[in-house]
Amino acid sequence: MQSPWRAAFSPRGASAPLGGFRPWLLAAILLAGCLHAADEWPQFRGNPQLTGVATGAVPGTLKLLWTYEAGDGIQSSAAIADGTVYVGVESADLLAIDLATGKLRWKYRAQDGIDESSPLVHDGVVYVGDIAGTLHAVRAADGKALWTFKTESEIRSSPVISGDRLFIGSYDGNLYCLSVKDGKVLWKFTTSSYVHATPAIAGGLIYIAGCDEIFRGLRIADGKEMFHFDSGGYTGASPAIEGPWAFFGTFNNDVAGADLSRKRIAWRYENPLRQFPFYSSAAVAGDRVVVGGRDKVVHCLNAKTGKAVWTFATRARVDSSPAIAGERVYVGSNDGRFYVLDLATGKKVWEFEAGAPLSASPAIAGGRVVIGSQDGKLYCFGA
């Protein structure tokens, strides 16, 4: 699709009578273009802080716009940039699909299956990890391979970027800092267990909630550990950073709110009725923390106190990480349903029955919501 800028200054545009030119109209076009460019979901959880909050609006009433048959299970969460959806498939395919039509643009074959690692799109390049432990850098325009980097074990973590540096965790126990340009190692930090979760970036630090039950803040520049504290449990969820706070669930059946300024856990939340792990990554908007649990429930907590604001029960575990757009929460469940909930009350606004578990997380951009299912279907909802 031609950009507003190119349309305004293309040869065809120049042939229009100058008397019809309106400066305010050009300003509006350029503003709309800027707003559209910002309305993207370029990585897991939407942004480097992993807050799961969309920058654009979603229509009040949704319907299924298209379905793409990927041919194998989808647990990777989609990225959306420049009108294209990028998603990994367990068959080892990285797919680029037109957001407007659901048509395949290109397909790239990774070394092995793409499981939970979710694509990152940055400066015309798509990055994703596979179960063979290889990180792939692929040209977004046509799917051409640019470079690969091999770790010593599988990659389930999703890549994140700060400046010219890319970060990825591996089951070999390392968090790697790589050059965006060529994949060369700039530094690595070794933990005592798998690095499963996606790292979060804020304020010059990169944060990892580890399978070694340690929460760390590392300096982006050189990987120096600036602090660490006991997270209180094996952690598969990625941390969401909001100001001086981090929020993440654990396999110790609780959600932790960490005060980063004091470098300690400030509160813990447990379902008072049922004890199950929290594998879903939290979404944070204002004073609300929303997270799915393996207790089959979506929980909304007060960010400062960890007290429950509301809960919403599904029919199976909720490993999907919620996304927030405006006053609504979007989340999948392993009961095969996609739910839209009211952020203030937790009441169900809408649901869609996919018929297969939805453990991937929704991506939101351009007024559309995209989520994949374990039976290989990619769904796009909009108005």
Mean pLDDT of 203-209: 96
User: Would you state the pLDDT for residue 210?
Assistant: 85
- At 15, is the pLDDT very low, low, confident or very high (cuts 50, 70, 90)? very low
Confidence band for 3, pLDDT divided at 50, 70 and 90: very low
Other CB atoms within 10 A of residue 32 CB: 11
d(CA 121, CA 137): 10
Distances from the Cα of 207 to the Cα of 16, 56, 189, 278, angstroms: 53, 26, 12, 18
36-50, 201-215, 350-364: the lowest-pLDDT one: 36-50
Q: Residue 304: its pLDDT value, please?
A: 97
Q: How much is the average pLDDT of 51-63?
A: 96
In whole angstroms, what is the distance from residue 187 CA to residue 38 CA? 31
Q: What is the pLDDT of residues 89-115, one digit of tens each?
A: 999 999 999 999 999 999 999 999 999
Check if the beta carbon of residue 192 is closer than 8 Å to that of residue 172: no
Q: Which two tokens stand for residue 94?
A: 């990285």
Measure Cα distances from 112 to 71, 92, 94, 152, 185 in Å.
Answer: 15, 5, 11, 14, 22
- Which pLDDT value is given to residue 6? 29
pLDDT for the residue numbered 316: 98
Instruction: Give the mean pLDDT of 194-212.
Output: 96
Residues 6+ apart with CB under 8 A from 22: none
Assess contact for 293 and 278: CB atoms under 8 A: yes
Contacts of 318 (CB under 8 A, 6+ apart): 280, 292, 293, 294, 296, 297, 298, 331, 332, 333, 334
> What pLDDT shows up at residue 21?
31
Q: Is the pTM of this model over 0.95?
A: no
Q: What is the pLDDT of residues 296-332, one digit of tens each?
A: 999 999 999 999 999 999 999 999 999 999 999 999 9
Residue 348's CB: how many other CB atoms inside 10 A? 13
pLDDT digits (tens, 9 = 90+) for 250-298: 999 999 999 999 999 999 999 999 999 999 999 999 999 999 999 999 9
The whole-number pLDDT of residue 338 equals 98
In whole angstroms, what is the distance from residue 4 CA to residue 34 CA? Answer: 10
Mean pLDDT of the chain: 91
Per-residue b or e along 277-302, where b marks 16 or more CB atoms closer than 10 Å to that residue's CB:
bbbbbbbbbeebbbbbbbbbbbbbbe
What residue type is assigned to position 112 of the chain? D
Average pLDDT over residues 36-48: 87
The predicted model gives 54-79 an average pLDDT of 97
Q: How high is the pLDDT of residue 14?
A: 31
Report strand pairing: 283-285 vs 363-365: unpaired
Domains and CATH numbers, the chain: 56-382 (2.130.10.10)
Distance CA 213, CA 338 (A): 31
Name the one residue in this structure whose structure tokens are 């399978």: 211
